[in-house]
Structure 1
Amino acid sequence: MAHEVKVPTLGESVTEATIGEWLKKPGDAVALDEPICSLETDKVAVEVPAPVAGILSAQLVAVGDTVEVGAAIAQIEATDGAAAPAPSPAPAAAAPAPSPAPAPAAIAKEAADDDAGDPQTLSPAVRRAVLEHGVDPSTIKGTGKDGRLTKEDVLAAAKAKKDGGAAAPAPSPAPAAADAGATGERTVERVKMTRLRQTIAKRLKSAQDNAALLTTFNDVDMTAVIEARNQYKDMFARKHGIKLGFMSFFAKAACLALKDVPSVNAQIEGDEILYHNFVDLSVAVSAPNGLVVPVVRSVDQMSFAEIELAIAEFGRKAKEGTLTMADMQGGTFTISNGGVFGSLMSTPIINPPQSAVLGLHRIEDRPVAVNGQVVIRPMMYLALSYDHRIIDGREAVTALKIMKEAIEDPMRMLIDL
């Protein structure tokens, strides 16, 4: 009996998605709840599980097609029991053994299709990269958590394969190398934007068009935070099982500022301003398909350890492509750390409908005047971009100054100053 596979409910206000990748092809055996394809929504990638165990008989849509919630995208011929699909891979795996000529181009696809039996599960982004570049994931050493493969691992392996094997496959490597060098061919690759990238572009442009954006800057002496971190990081890690980073300090400093200057934590809705008595902190995280902004809820009620653990978990999920819609929804204020990529200064764009975003940058030693003496201190530039429609310059400058003072004197965060 044929069963239809339908697009599941994707989250509040999300009505459609794009087929990002088929994880199973017609004729493949599938187990109950085994992912058969990956959908790209405006915010995250979502895997569609098989509703029954059986054989995938048809794909009703192609990669890149837009599908609505509830639409049929595939058909599965159900089997009598979950055990039926299991034996089929065994003969298929055994059959090629006597034959020494498997198709090299199929190695990556077979590896991705055999994912359920592999000790590590590949995320949608990693599977896509494996298929696109034709590499064997079993030969790549993963750098992710618990040795899991990341998209960067696959891209690095593909580059190494290309660089190291450019001459080997050709019977006459010398002429091939000469031709490549002599032609100096200029190429252009056309790649369709992912739904996530399209959404990022629309939201950022919307923020520029609809908000009165302005950025105020300050610099902060990181000496006190660095000294506190160096003094307590080992004890902190032993007690809480997580490293003490800088983000928890800035999250706490932001909470102090938002409490004293509530407009920075507010947003416009129609002709009204919504003031929040809580802080749901959006943290900009780099994911394989682009920048995502998961939300740490009620960060103003959390300890340093709880903040670090929450951010680390979001970072892991972003890297593996497992962030959910619930992880991304909401948020009253954003922190974006361009310093991890080496940025010295930037003007971050707010994350609508929020009204402000704090940009962090790299720490570098600079000469500064302290008590009439020129000394070298680890300094960082801070940037607060805000919507001037509801946040006045005085309020923005005051909020950023409170954050600066809290970082330069962390005791303020302990006694609520």
Structure 2
Amino acid sequence: MTEVRVPTLGESVTEATVATWFKKPGDTVAVDEMLCELETDKVTVEVPSPAAGTLSDIVANEGDTVGVDALLANISEGDSGSDAAPKAKEAKPDSAPAQESAPAAGGAQTDVMVPTLGESVSEATVSTWFKKVGDSVAQDEMLCELETDKVSVEVPSPASGTLAEIVADEGATVEANAKLAVISSNGEVKGAAPQENAEAANGKQYEQPPAGDGGPGKDIKDGPAAEKAMAEAGISRDQVQGSGRDGRATKEDVSRAVAAASAQPQASAPAPAPRAPVSAEDAGREERVKMTRLRQTIARRLKDAQNTAAILTTYNEVDMTEVMALRSQYKDMFEKKHGVRLGFMSFFTKACCHALKEVPEVNAEIDGTDIVYKNFVHMGIAAGTPQGLVVPVIRDADAMSFAEIEKAINEKGKRARDGKLSMAEMQGGTFTISNGGVYGSLMSSPIINPPQSGILGMHKIQDRPMVINGEIKIRPMMYLALSYDHRIVDGKGAVTFLVRVKEALEDPRRLLMDL
């Protein structure tokens, strides 16, 4: 008996409602076949079958509220509808060698599945295949790369053998735990003739059937999420142009079809031009490139932040003389002892942690009609990468030393540039620091990273004439910008926070004495 339990629902989500059961007790189910769909206040989660067999009973019925890891149903293994496996199991005496069941169960083949993508991430796009059908692969050798809206994920081979089949071609959208490919340990490649294998290697086996024909695509079954979306929108399947593999419809396809249907009554009105007219000469010199999922997510989240939060920015400037002198004096000793260079980011991180204790609302977030105060600081450090902006999180930064902070920033910065950050490493931040000064920015207004309520913008250090004790002196000055959510942070709190950061940086001894 195999238990079907509620999967991880996402950060800060502890319960869900059973929306739909796609199977009923007594039905035969295959591994990874969708059993039911859960709805939370943020996302819809599909629950796949963890094993092949028969759905013996349903514990949580439609409409029930269930917590994380709660029991949903039970599956009786060995009663599945597959012909080969049960017969092999019944015919095999107890004394028979184990390998006899391997051919019947497909033991010569290993499925390559989509790995865990992270909390709140339910799908990814296959960006690149490093191997083609028929290629030999070693265990743990990289097969392909997936791109989610936050990170790139490399998929290693689970076994040695031959890449027998590619199920999800480049550009295909795949859900969590979907099958990507098949590895054959005996060298068999799917397809009868060698020329068919050659076509498969070029991706021709996944040509999408023409819409409306009676070809192979007519019996393709769409995913449960897409079917549910079509039912809720009240549109038929022939109104949806599937973009998935073999013409399957996705939730995004349904959304596009609904938007197109709602725009039809206004079709007679002239549609505004999406962009200014381009001359034929200029058109030939343009290049159109599809936005990556990461870039689309960055654009959407930044716009959502502006639409949701009441963003306001306050500015100040800091004299970096003392910090630069302290760094210059101890940087060699620091690097020799701790094995990492002493930078400015650790000073700013410590100064922010110090200020957040005095002004806790800058470290809080709004949840409905509640304010959630955080008695810890998970510091997000914005980092620019070739793929786009990412914000790795340093957890419990308020409890770290200068050396620990520098090591964490160095390690996560390298992983960000290499595209190796996991989802967990970019979630849970309570406050963010963005350093536009490394690119030469003198002044900017950063946008907060929801659901956070504040972000500090660092800028270029520039020598400027300043009046010090009645005398004009040249000092290394930096503009600071604090963008904050005015719904939760008042002007007084924002200004106080920025002044405390300024004081701590202009006199670093205050950090040691907690002043």
| Structure 1 residues 233-382: aligned runs within 5 Å | 233-382=331-480
Q: Deviations over 1:260-292 (max 9, x none)?
A: 000000001111111001000000011120010
In structure 2, list runs of 5 or more residues that go unmatched: 1-107, 188-280
1:37 aligns with 2:135: no
Q: Distance in 1 between matches of 2:122 and 2:327?
A: 45
Q: CA deviation at 1:61?
A: 2.1
Q: CA deviation at 1:372?
A: 0.9
**Are the aligned partners of 1:53 and 1:79 in contact in 2 as well (CA < 8 Å)?**
no
- 2:15 corresponding residue in structure 1: none
Q: CA deviation at 1:325?
A: 1.2
1:17 aligns with 2:124: yes
Q: Deviations over 1:106-155 (max 9, x none)?
A: xxxxxxxxxxxxxxxxxxxxxxxxxxxxxxxxxxxxxxxxxxxxxxxxxx
Structure 1 runs (4+) deviating above 6 angstroms are none
Identify if the C-alpha distance between structure 1 residues 47 and 263 changes in structure 2 by more than 3 Å, giving closer, same or farther.
same
Q: Deviations over 1:29-53 (max 9, x none)?
A: 1111222011111211111121221
For the pair shown, which has the larger CA radius of gyration, 1 or 2? 2
Secondary structure of the 1:258 match is helix
Q: Distance in 2 between matches of 1:224 and 1:308?
A: 19
- 1:28 corresponding residue in structure 2: 135
Q: Deviations over 1:171-230 (max 9, x none)?
A: xxxxxxxxxxxx999511111111111111111000000000000000000000000000
Pairwise CA RMSD of aligned residues? 1.4
AA paired with 1:311?
I
Q: Distance in 2 between matches of 1:184 and 1:303?
A: 55
1:75 aligns with 2:182: yes
Q: CA deviation at 1:3?
A: 2.7
Q: Distance in 2 between matches of 1:372 and 1:328?
A: 47
Bigger fraction of residues in helix: 1
Q: Distance in 2 between matches of 1:282 and 1:10?
A: 20
AA paired with 2:136?
A
In structure 1, list runs of 5 or more residues that go unmatched: 81-182
Q: CA deviation at 1:79?
A: 3.9
| Structure 1 residues 48-197: aligned runs within 5 Å | 48-79=155-186, 186-197=284-295
**Are the aligned partners of 2:118 and 2:422 in contact in 1 as well (CA < 8 Å)?**
no
Secondary structure of the 1:321 match is coil
Q: Distance in 2 between matches of 1:42 and 1:330?
A: 17
- 2:112 corresponding residue in structure 1: 5
Q: Deviations over 1:21-75 (max 9, x none)?
A: 1111111111112220111112111111212211112222222221101211212
Q: Which has the higher contact order (CA 8 A, sep 6+)?
A: 1
TM-score w.r.t. length of structure 1: 0.74
Identify if the C-alpha distance between structure 1 residues 228 and 17 changes in structure 2 by more than 3 Å, giving closer, same or farther.
same
AA paired with 2:154?
E
Corresponding residue pairs, total: 315
Q: Distance in 1 between matches of 2:409 and 2:186?
A: 43
Q: Deviations over 1:248-271 (max 9, x none)?
A: 000000011100000000001111
Q: Distance in 2 between matches of 1:269 and 1:79?
A: 55
Q: Distance in 1 between matches of 2:141 and 2:478?
A: 47
Q: Distance in 1 between matches of 2:472 and 2:128?
A: 58
